[in-house]
Amino acid sequence: MTWSTIWPYVLVAAATGASATALWWLHHTDRLPRRGEPRPHEPAALRAASLAEIDALTWQEFEHHVAALCRRDGCRDVVVTGGSGDLGADVTATLPDGRRLVIQCKHYAPHRYV
């Protein structure tokens, strides 16, 4: 065999390897949506949101906003766990260096409780 007959196979193998590596990286950095996990507020988290926009969120939307910020900053396995019986852990994630992150969200807007 000569190089002229082998190069298409080498090119396909390299492209497949690069695609598999990219998908693995996207999956392990939580940049791909998981099945059944909606990310309704991620676009707002990926741009600079004003305090007025954040104040207008409900407590559930705020927890998803915090989770989206964690994903944006490289956390993996981000899960919104807020609700009854969550032991104060509203968002859990794994930091890029492997440490576990537990966040308790408090969303109080000054104009709501006056």
Sign of CA dihedral 81, 56, 43, 100: negative
Query: Could you give the CA distance from residue 59 to residue 108 in angstroms, rounded to a whole number?
Result: 9
Sign of CA dihedral 42, 43, 45, 51: negative
Reported residue count of the chain is 114
Q: pTM score, two decimals? A: 0.55
Answer for the pair 105, 65: CB distance below 8 angstroms, yes or no: no
Query: Could you give the CA distance from residue 114 to residue 70 in angstroms, rounded to a whole number?
Result: 31
Per-residue pLDDT reduced to its tens digit, 64-114 = 889 999 998 889 899 888 666 667 788 999 998 999 999 998 877 666 544
